[in-house]
Structure 1
Amino acid sequence: MQPDLQVLMAEIRQIAQEEILPRFARVGYEVKHDGSLLTEADLATDRRIREFLQRAWPQIAFLSEEMERHEQERLLRESDSLWCLDPLDGTSNFAAGLPLFAISLALFQQGEVVLALTYDPIRDEMFSAQQGQGAWLNGKPLQCQKSGFPLCNAVAMVDFKRLPARLKCALMENSPYGSQRNLGSCVLEWAWMAANRGHLYLHGGMKLWDLAAGTLILAEAGGYACTLDGEAVFKPAMEPRSVVISPDKALFDAWFHYLQANR
């Protein structure tokens, strides 16, 4: 039996409001070994969610971005059921006072994502999904739509810093879309694509906790995603995965064709 999604969402919302919002733009940060930032809010949120999950569902193992890599790899090898948490995605935004960050949590069972949520505490937006049952935003169904936009007028969200050099140059010198954005929070970008906020997405290398929840939310909303190699994005492993997304099938096909021709 899967955990109760309503109970889970209520607790995550409360933790975010108690641990993240009061610290927004009021706490310092430190730099982790990989160059990313870590704040007191990351650690406090991680601790509260871990404690809640272990009390409520002690039979399910727990993996977090804040763990050591060897422990993350062990959990992926040994666990049939596993939570995967990013306690605060968009930490650089958070530390800089930019209101674009979120909690993201996914449940893996037998190597598949079966339950997912992404919570944006600034907007009080809870994106959620259950395998085979749909995706929702604050309880209302999410459904990807045809945009009616041609590729040349589309709005793209692109993270340039992790892209292959040749593709990066092509996008900067001869971009196929109308305009480009970057939120600085992978989990929000997945959720916003599922909510038809933007037309195209590209990322050169996401980590497991950046993509796990989003893959299910987008899929259950009827969106389209793959890697730059045309593979399924989700893989229960630690290696970064590239991401290509559109909520619109025609745009997705045109976008992927352009990317393949310019890699």
Structure 2
Amino acid sequence: MTLQEQELAAAFARLTGEAAREPLDTQSLLTALVGGAVGLFGADGALAQYATGSSPVRTEGTSGDLRALVREAVVWSEGPGHDVRTTGCALIDVDVTTRPAHVRWPRWTSRAQALGIGRVTALPLLAKDGPSGALVLVGAPGSHLDEHALNLARSYSEAAAHVLSLQREVSESRVLAGQLEHALSSRVVVEQAKGIVSARYGIPMQEAFDRLRKYARSHQYKVADVARRITENPNELPF
């Protein structure tokens, strides 16, 4: 294993560590992602865009200027990061000083050139349901990624996408678990309230629930809220 490959393995470990950090923090993971990319591949800077579903696009860069650039790129819907994030297709060693690049990304290329950026390589961050982001390596005019570095960069972006997906799955599973717990808790409270109403009025459980539901609807309350009120004050039924 070469020194660069060893550094790549260490970068993978850092990404995994960030993904497992509590509380879960996607932004810190993106910070580790762009920082590792610069150190590994000799780029002058790196930036990232990442979004899932209808959530806002998260951005990161290795300097204040690059962070501003990537935020503006999202607003403008321009630049290599935007195109790769939305299409899932990589852009390799693009000269952004050319007229075609300026026509394609007029505002982005003007700002990028003002920052001394001449070439970019943008790699997709792919999730199971499609492209979710992009890692963009930027360099001065005349700079290039050699084939070996490009292959490593591809591996790095694929690993980062996998780690981001895992973090997203963990976060979503926690939300779902919380929703299920809340639903179960509400169901238990409703059953307790049905029992209280049934015992108080000497009626079947179904009729007790019907009274509970009718009262909730007529007062525009949630059934669970009325049930909780009854269980907390069983001697003061609202109906």
Fold similarity call, TM over 0.5: no
The TM-score with structure 1 as length reference comes to: 0.25
Name whichever structure is richer in helix by fraction. Answer: 2
Larger Rg: 2
Considering fraction of residues, name the structure with more strand. 1
TM value normalised by structure 2 = 0.27
